[in-house]
Amino acid sequence: MANEVCFRTLHLDEPWTLESYLSVGGYQSLKKILTEKIPAEDIIEQVKTSALRGRGGAGFPTGLKWSFMPRHSEGQKYIVCNSDEGEPGTCKDRDILRYNPHQLIEGMAIAGYCIGADTGYNYIRGEFWEPYSRFDNALKEAREAGYLGDKLFGSDFNFDAHSHLGGGAYICGEETALLESIEGKKGQPRFKPPFPAGFGLYGKPTTINNTETLASIPVIVEKGAQWFLEHGKPNNGGTKLFSVSGNLKRPGNYEIDMGTPFSELLEMCGGMKDGYKLKAVIPGGSSSPVIPGEQMMDVTMDYDSIQAAGSMLGSGAVIILDDNVCMVNALARLSHFYQEESCGQCTPCREGTGWISHIMHRIEHGYGKQEDIDLLDKVAGDIMGRTICALGEAASMPVKGFLKDYRDEFQYHIDHKKCMVGPGSK
């Protein structure tokens, strides 16, 4: 089944309104928790049982993350939603904000209840003006209707949320950079520990979850952890939004059961556009290693299966590369991206992403030297594990992935000073 969780309003006219959300049972999970006084520990257990994992890319178990919060300690605590969607290929959170913003608000409120926070911030990337407007309108509607504010549903739980707009920086998707950015600073990641659950926004205990993660919560509470878990396979519970892009007949966001074969997802997208053949797939956003098309046809869309194939589910961004794509050209573009977006704080990443991008540029433009291929591999390897945040890994993994399966195209570029495939081969 499709569109049962984050996209459950999608079939309605104006799915983003409070009226639409209420018509599918909206805010009933929050109401149930507060009126039946269900203990936060029970909800956290339920989220653990559901096997919900962070949908932003890292895949950390959500219930476990919530349990790290010192919920009984006095003082301010925060829930922060990460809508700084910027991993190339990913466009799912944009559609949650545009088409089902109230479910995200309800998810934030339930999370706030579980971790002991009365305030939430939703960090929305600055370019997302339409999604921001929809979300901000939904906040107003929710406040007026009494779903946000003091003493919700007659309980002693107070909760309000606000949006924060970014300014154009991929790195702010990293949770501690995001916190720095809300504090009005450059978005440079913090050294961890301390982790945000101890020292987060304004130095207060904070939980940061992805948009899709939080928007899944109301449905898990309503239908039960088991229901969610069964939409998937063991250790890979639930549904997942996949952003599929490339030369397909129907690219788009598809919310499907985890464990669905890639071949079925491809069919949902109508298959390749006429005249294009499947060459390879970047299965989880630009940072995840590329997988050859024929190998991908045996993979199911879940954490374990994609990992066994040598890559990552990541953010669920499925980038389809067709037979016109030169892999040298593709990696050159991605390497430029990571160089642009490195925050400059750690030397291995700042310098390494520059080196990778420069080497890729010269191979792409016919000035590559034989030793460049090994040099690329070495520079990528030298970044890994030597930086404060994961951007260094994110820049290095594609290099390793492309070299592993498509080394011949790099060699061809160095030998012939042109592409092996695609328009650049002529």
- Closer residue to other proteins in complex, CB, 47/172: 172
Q: State in angstroms the smallest separation of the CB of 202 from other proteins.
A: 6
Q: What are phi and psi of 205, to 5 degrees?
A: -55, 130
Using alpha carbons, list the distances in angstroms from residue 399 to 203, 317, 368, 421.
36, 18, 16, 19
Alpha-carbon dihedral sign for residues 311, 316, 317, 320: positive
Looking up tokens 């790290």, which residue turns up?
68
What is the contact surface with other proteins in residues (CB under 8 A)? 76, 85-91, 93-94, 121, 125-130, 162, 164-170, 181-187, 202, 243-247, 251-253, 282, 286, 317, 319-322, 325, 329-330, 333-334, 337, 340-341, 343
Q: State in angstroms the smallest separation of the CB of 324 from other proteins.
A: 8
Looking up tokens 């449905």, which residue turns up?
219
CA 138 – CA 375 distance, rounded (Å): 51
CA 68 – CA 205 distance, rounded (Å): 10
- Closer residue to other proteins in complex, CB, 187/237: 187
- Closer residue to other proteins in complex, CB, 123/157: 123
Contact of 172 with 188, CB cutoff 8 Å: no
User: How many CA atoms lie less than 13 Å away from 126 in the CB half-sphere?
Assistant: 9
Q: State in angstroms the smallest separation of the CB of 341 from other proteins.
A: 7
CB atoms within 10 A of CB 11: 10
Burial class of residue 218 (count of CB atoms within 10 Å of its CB; 0-12, 13-18, 19+): buried
Q: State in angstroms the smallest separation of the CB of 60 from other proteins.
A: 22
DSSP reduced 3-state for 57: coil
Looking up tokens 């720095």, which residue turns up?
180
Residues 6+ apart with CB under 8 A from 403: 373, 376, 377, 410
Residues 6+ apart with CB under 8 A from 377: 399, 400, 403
Contact of 43 with 113, CB cutoff 8 Å: yes
Q: State in angstroms the smallest separation of the CB of 182 from other proteins.
A: 6
Q: State in angstroms the smallest separation of the CB of 364 from other proteins.
A: 12
Contact of 392 with 384, CB cutoff 8 Å: yes
- Closer residue to other proteins in complex, CB, 130/371: 130
CA 268 – CA 3 distance, rounded (Å): 13
- Closer residue to other proteins in complex, CB, 27/121: 121
- Closer residue to other proteins in complex, CB, 40/124: 124
User: Based on C-alpha coordinates, what's the Rg of the chain?
Assistant: 22
CA 419 – CA 412 distance, rounded (Å): 7
CA 421 – CA 426 distance, rounded (Å): 9
- Closer residue to other proteins in complex, CB, 43/208: 208
- Closer residue to other proteins in complex, CB, 257/322: 322
Q: State in angstroms the smallest separation of the CB of 94 from other proteins.
A: 5
Q: State in angstroms the smallest separation of the CB of 245 from other proteins.
A: 4
- Closer residue to other proteins in complex, CB, 50/83: 83
Q: State in angstroms the smallest separation of the CB of 184 from other proteins.
A: 4
Question: What is the DSSP code string of 369-386?
Answer: -TTHHHHHHHHHHHHTT-
Q: State in angstroms the smallest separation of the CB of 131 from other proteins.
A: 9
Q: State in angstroms the smallest separation of the CB of 238 from other proteins.
A: 21
- Closer residue to other proteins in complex, CB, 181/216: 181
CA 81 – CA 390 distance, rounded (Å): 19
- Closer residue to other proteins in complex, CB, 129/367: 129
Helix (H) or strand (E) holding 261: strand 260-261
